[in-house]
Amino acid sequence: MANDKRFLAWKRHHRKRKSAKAKVKLYEQGKLPHDKLPALAKIFLQRKMRSLSKAE
């Protein structure tokens, strides 16, 4: 039972993360403005930019 609940929660969150990452990719291609990004996608973008700046 607990495994089923955990799987369903993972599935729900995974779907949101997957669509947010797709939105980030669209933003990087210039097909989507920054203000149209969902909150989770903005967090992913911030994290990506932070890691890129540390790599330099």
**pLDDT tens digits for 2-40?**
899 999 999 999 999 999 999 999 999 999 999 999 999
Domain ranges of the chain: 2-55
CA 9/CA 6 separation, integer angstroms: 5
For residue 40, give both structure tokens.
């989770």
Confidence of residue 41 (pLDDT cuts 50, 70, 90): very high
**pTM of structure:** 0.81
Q: Does pLDDT of 51 surpass 90?
A: yes
